[in-house]
Amino acid sequence: MAQLLDGNRVRDEIKAELKPRVERVAAHGRAPGLAVVLVGHNPASEIYVRNKIKACQDLGIYSESLTPPETIATEELLAIVEQLNARHDIDGILVQLPLPPQVDAKRILLAIAPAKDVDGFHPCNVGNLVAGLPGPRACTPAGIIELLKRYRIPIAGQRAVVVGRSDIVGKPVAMLLLHEHATVTICHSKTPDLAAVCREADLLVAALGRPAMITGQYVKPGATVIDVGTTRVEDAALAKRLFRDAPEKLAAFEKKGSTLLGDVHPIEIPAVAGAYTPVPGGVGPLTIAMLMANTVASAERRTGVC
């Protein structure tokens, strides 16, 4: 039976390690500070922000949530970011994506001071990642590496395949795996015979945003499978097809009318993989944990606490 890689457990370990670091920073005059900018009323984004604020409260990190209206212009949002850049008590700035269509998201992300870019998206920090220099790393990819290391899953010398080439997950996780001495292949929509490439992987990272696309035929027996996708599915026909051999999961779907699915098949993958992350409870909890870690590290650098 495949080993389940519990993201909640690793999240709790990371948070326990961060608490004394937060206390050391606070002993120098103030707690680490995180500002989250949430434009408009996107329900999914509101849930993510609430979870981030709660994590701050749990750790003793000062948090501030700014909620400008959906109609905000790019220049107005830039002014908010510049104000946060100038504040001594704010160590991390996070602008929750997606932004409304009238806002130039690239200009907003570029305006965040690299030292306060706790999402790790600024080109300066992407460059630091490529060069192997210190700096904040994108939270989900950094969480994946933490998960692998804490479960003592080998990375060096392993063949890693990343399905998806986004700037947020695919590209940075490929670079982090490369820095850990894996041999890395990045796949995407133009990759021929995707299943055959995936079957070569000792470490398979699925980050393409298509629920249950990665089936058992994509996975080498015994491989470690990291599922980054999270999609709420309400399609009854899809649920019946996926859960035809799992009546308890089908019953849960029928009772609720929906289910959360990752990018890998929830029944086939555990049967063939050596280890895998569940959805929910796998990679998701680590994203916020690494955001907290980036915020604390920024506060340590800015206050001289090391």
**Cβ–Cβ < 8 Å for 24, 54:** no
Q: Are 241 and 261 spatial neighbours (Cβ–Cβ below 8 Å)?
A: no
CA 272 to centroid of chain Cα atoms: 25
Phi and psi, residue 167, nearest 5°: -70, -20
Q: Could you tell me which residues are beta bridge partners of residue 160?
A: 184, 203
Mean pLDDT lowest among 119-123, 211-215, 245-249, 285-289: 245-249
HSE-CB at 272 with a 13 A cutoff on CA atoms is: 19
Give the least confident one: 125-139, 173-187, 242-256.
242-256
Cβ neighbours of residue 238 closer than 8 Å, sequence gap 6 or more: 211, 212
* Stretch 280-305: mean pLDDT: 95
| 127-152 per-position pLDDT tens digit | 999 999 999 999 999 999 999 999 99
Q: What percent of the chain has pLDDT over 90?
A: 92
Report helix, strand or coil for 66: strand
What is the token pair recorded at 250? 């089908």
Domains and CATH numbers, the chain: 28-115 (3.40.50.10860), 139-285 (3.40.50.720)
Rg (CA), the chain: 20
Tell me the pLDDT tens digit for each residue of 62-94. Answer: 999 999 999 999 999 999 999 999 999 999 999
What is the predicted pLDDT for the residue at 104? 97
Residue 44 has pLDDT above 80, yes or no: no
Examine residue 98 and say whether the peptide bond preceding it is cis (omega within 30 degrees of 0).
yes
Indicate the average pLDDT of the chain: 95
Q: How far is the CA of 212 from the CAs of 34, 209, 234, 285, 288, in angstroms?
A: 35, 9, 13, 20, 24
Which residues form the catalytic set?
52, 96, 119
Residue 154, pLDDT above cutoff 90:
yes
DSSP 215-273: -GGGS-TT-EEEE---EEE--HHHHHHHTTT-HHHHHHHHHHS-EEE-SB-TTHHHHH-
Cβ atoms of residues 262 and 227 within 8 Å: yes
pLDDT value, residue 71: 96
pLDDT of residue 46: 85
